[in-house]
Amino acid sequence: MEEPAPEVEENHDVSGIYTDDGVVREEIAGLLEAAIDADDADIIRRITRHLHESEVADLLEVVDEEKRGHFVELAGSDFDFAALTEVDEAIRLGIVDNLPNEKVAEAVRELDSDDAVFILEDLETDDREEILSQIPFQERIRLRRSLDYPEETAGRRMQTEFIAVPPFWTVGQAIDYVRAGESLPERFTEIFTIEPDFKLAGTLPLDTLLRAGRDVSIDTIHETNAHPINAEIDQEEAAQVFEQYDLLSAPVVDENGRLVGVLTIDDVVDVIQEEAAEDIKRLAGVGDEELSDNVLAIARSRVSWLGINLFTAVIASLIIGLFDATIEKMVALAILMPIVASMGGNAGTQTMTVAVRALATRDLDTYNARRIVRKELLVGLLNGVVFAVVIGIVAAVWFSQIALGVVIALAMIVNMVFAAASGILIPIALDKMNIDPAIASGVFVTTVTDVVGFFAFLGLAAWWFGI
């Protein structure tokens, strides 16, 4: 026999859903679970009715996977489908796939076009087409146009709802148009001016519009340097335009310069976070996985890079095998050689991380590359000397052999310099070849530091001691 859900008083506090640490409160999570189990739509709606879409998304992530669809059903019309743009892809697809296409189409009609595209782009083609067929013609055309642009481009991210007026209008005409408009975006910070062929003429910030007299002609106050963004460019490049010019929104144009949409700062912030997370994952050899993915999906995204790492480890082992006789005669070498390789690997990773991020933000370019490479080499040399002295003394005292301390000290300097060189030069070279340095740099840098570290240490030892 099922236990009844706990009764909730009318004055139960569901306004603050987070603890001081930003985690969903346990009592809210418990209340939510109990309401879902009891099919209590009233409690679900009381909890979600006044929440922001991002807060509803956090509640979705707290709910057990098999209950999320039921949570959406119980929330009914109070559920903001924009919340699905704030959760992992696996969660979003899990919810949408369990809803009738008619329900999804109804929800998509209420969303801004950028949010609607975000939800539609991951669906199966048949489901997406069925949903689009149930959307009014004009909205369907706009959504299809955005979906036709490649993934991770400005065209996919843009919002197709915007306000555009002719530049020969007066301020009064523009204000009256905005007030009377029924199908205009709910929030905007600027309006756009367009020519008769729909080519972008300029932008007019709202503060400029509101400060001007009603009889002022717009073409005398609009900004013709509008920093338009081509719909085909990568979303990361679009974000860099926002960063460079401190924009809140920017017009998106097609290849003919015609206005097709607007990119807003809220979407750009998401892009920046996504790109940063993507770079971090790629540096670690992690695929496109998310926390909500299942075990098989996560394992599949990691196995390819682990296989490559295994191959590079075999190469390092072959280098060690060249000096097996040397190691047999001096066991101390086997004890000390991981130190040289490990220090080089860490130093190379530090330099590589800085280089990859600098390339992504365009802080590292043709004009300063030589200076930065030279600086990194000097840093590698300085750190190499410092740690060479330390490990040289330790090795000499540990094994009572000054010569061994000298050998490992020299090997440390060599490897630290090579680590710095590979950490900066490999990402630059990959970038020049139009290969994302975040994807492949780690494998190459690790290989270089391992091979050079082992070869330098064991080679110097074999030469020094004549074994």
CATH number at residue 313: 1.10.357.20
Amino acid at 129: E
Q: Which of 95, 89, 57 minimizes the C-alpha distance to 288?
A: 89
Mean pLDDT of 162-180: 94
The total number of structural domains that make up the chain: 3
Question: Would you say residue 19 lies in a domain?
Answer: no
Provide the percentage of residues in the chain whose pLDDT is more than 90.
Answer: 62
Mean pLDDT of 38-48: 91
What are the C-alpha distances in Å from 160 to residues 156, 187, 231, 260, 264?
10, 13, 12, 6, 11
C-alpha–C-alpha distance, residues 142 and 108, integer Å: 13
CATH number at residue 89: 1.25.60.10
Beta bridge pairs of residue 18: 24
Show which of 261, 283, 305 is a domain's final residue. Answer: 283
Q: What pTM did the predictor assign?
A: 0.75
Show which of 239, 259, 283 is a domain's final residue. Answer: 283
CB 199: neighbour CB atoms within 10 A? 14
C-alpha–C-alpha distance, residues 433 and 426, integer Å: 11
pLDDT band (50, 70, 90) for residue 274: confident
Are 189 and 248 contacting, i.e. CB atoms less than 8 angstroms apart? yes
C-alpha–C-alpha distance, residues 351 and 363, integer Å: 14
What lies within 8 Å, CB to CB, of 208 at 6+ separation is 221, 222
Are 68 and 58 contacting, i.e. CB atoms less than 8 angstroms apart? no
CATH number at residue 205: 3.10.580.10
3-state secondary structure of 265: helix
Q: Do 325 and 427 fall into the same domain?
A: yes
Q: Do 250 and 330 fall into the same domain?
A: no
Are 160 and 260 contacting, i.e. CB atoms less than 8 angstroms apart? yes
Beta bridge pairs of residue 258: 199
Q: Do 90 and 40 fall into the same domain?
A: yes
| Predicted confidence (pLDDT) at residue 3 exceeds the cutoff of 50 | no
- The structure tokens listed for 361 are 């933000």
Name the residue range of residue 299's domain. 295-465
What are the tens digits of pLDDT across the range 222-265?
999 889 999 999 999 999 999 999 999 999 999 999 999 999 99
